[in-house]
Amino acid sequence: MSPDFLYAIEVLLNGLMAGVMYSLVALGFVLIFKASGVFNYAQGVMALFAALTLVGIMNGQVPFSHLINAVFGTHLHDFGWQVPALAAIALTAVVMVFFAILVEKLILKYLIGQEPIILFMATIGLAYFMEGFGDLMWGADIKALDVGLPKGGSLWIEENTVWLAAEGERFFGFFIDKLDISATIVAIILVVALTLFSQYTATGRALRAVADDHQAAMSVGISLRAIWVITWSIAGFVALVAGIMWGSKSGVQFSLAFIVLKALPVLMLGGFTSIPGAIVGGLIIGMGEKLFEFFIGPLIGGATENWFAYVLALIFLVFRPQGLFGERIIERV
């Protein structure tokens, strides 16, 4: 096989892996949207917040140290201990549950029955608030996150794919980041776990009932507010996973909040209400933008990844507004 063709395949594979990362964020969206009809713009910031909290706990940072120092003139920085990764992840999950309860108690309770677009704007407000809050709590500097996941290119894959090109060609095997591979595995585990949870547990069934029909669910005695807390907690957990993956890949920093902007077109493509849609949409977007950048990018100046996903989703919307797997919206004006 010619090296050009093999490069294209490598780009494709890396695109698929990037797509998995997008799907991780999109998953959180779908969960919340199905259960509460809220289009949660804050999902990306939740991932950032979770990652910041995780790093902060692991390094034993004093929360709000910057603020405390400014007000009282002290020089606090950290407690001087290190927390092992697994314990820190568990603690962060607790924080995210706590956060879910707060969101329900302080925001959603008052906005029941409002139009979706009002709820959407409220989550933009929430995103802003959490962005400031996370930075205030843990500081805004870029932090390295290492929970012990393997990093760097996989030599094994490189060595075992060199034979694909003829002898003497400039091809050294596929370069695939180990982190991407673990992300894929984690994503698969997450989706399987979520599916099992929603199919075989009482709570999961209640979740699906709420997603189907709020009023019918309430009339058979399902507490809507409890369900919302549970969904936001699960979404918080998904955000934590996404935060760990993205944080290990590119450091925990402000720009992490912007992955939400990558997840939006994924949702438009896959449909807002479908978990498989989030996965397939993520894969298509990841693959599409890498291939587009590879083939067309050099012709028109590069850096097309910022907008390609949106334009693809936009074109898609015109022909199939409900997305690939979404529920059909029968509404014509």
Partner 1 sequence: MYYREAGDFKTSYRADQQNFPIRFDRIHFWVMMVLAFGVVPFFINDYWANAVFVPFLIFAIATLGLNLLTGYCGQVSLGSAGFMAVGAYACYKLMTSFPDLNFFVVVLLSGGITAMVGTAFGLPSLRIKGFYLAVATLAAQFFLVWLFNKVPWFYNNSASGQISVPRREMLGIPITGPETAASTKYLICLIIVFVLGFVARNLTRGRIGRSWMAIRDMDFAAEIIGVDPLRAKLSAFAISSFYIGIAGALFFSVYLGAVEVGEAFGINNSFLILFMVIIGGLGSIYGSFAGAAFLILMPVLLKNVLVSGLGWPSDLAAHLEFMIMGALIIIFLIVEPHGLARLWAVTKQKLRLWPFPY
DSSP-derived letter for residue 83 is -
Nearer to partner 1, 138 or 237 (CB): 138
CB of 262 to partner 1, least distance (A): 11
Please measure the distance between the N-terminal and C-terminal CA atoms of the chain and give it in whole angstroms. 52
User: Which amino acid appears at position 48 of this protein?
Assistant: L
CB of 303 to partner 1, least distance (A): 7
CB of 228 to partner 1, least distance (A): 16
Query: Apex CA 197: angle with CA 194 and CA 199, to 5°?
Result: 105
Q: Which residues contact residue 254 at a Cβ distance below 8 angstroms, ignoring those fewer than 6 apart? A: 48, 131, 135, 140
CB of 206 to partner 1, least distance (A): 26
Nearer to partner 1, 46 or 179 (CB): 46
Of all helices (H) and strands (E), which one includes residue 315?
helix 305-319
87 alpha-carbon distance from chain centroid: 22
Nearer to partner 1, 93 or 267 (CB): 267
Nearer to partner 1, 77 or 205 (CB): 77
CB of 258 to partner 1, least distance (A): 8
Q: DSSP string of 135-201? A: HHHH-SS-B---SS---SB-HHHHHHHGGGSPTTSS------BHHHHHHHHHHHHHHHHHHHHHHHS
| Cα separations in angstroms, 144 against 5, 56, 82, 188 | 36, 11, 14, 25
Burial environment of residue 88 by CB neighbours within 10 A (0 to 12, 13 to 18, 19 or more): buried
CB of 129 to partner 1, least distance (A): 3
Nearer to partner 1, 47 or 88 (CB): 47
Q: Are 10 and 180 in contact (CB under 8 A)?
A: no
CB of 143 to partner 1, least distance (A): 15
Nearer to partner 1, 132 or 150 (CB): 132
Nearer to partner 1, 84 or 132 (CB): 132
CB of 272 to partner 1, least distance (A): 8
Q: Which residues contact residue 232 at a Cβ distance below 8 angstroms, ignoring those fewer than 6 apart? A: 32, 99, 100, 103, 104
CB of 127 to partner 1, least distance (A): 7
Nearer to partner 1, 19 or 271 (CB): 271
Assign residue 268 a region (left: φ > 0; alpha: ψ between -120 and 50; beta: otherwise).
alpha
Q: Are 319 and 59 in contact (CB under 8 A)?
A: no
Summarize as ranges the residues that interact with partner 1 (CB under 8 A).
39, 66-67, 70-71, 107, 110-111, 114, 116-118, 120-122, 124-133, 135-136, 140, 261, 264-265, 267-268, 300-304, 306-307, 310-311, 313-314, 317-318, 321, 333
Nearer to partner 1, 143 or 161 (CB): 143
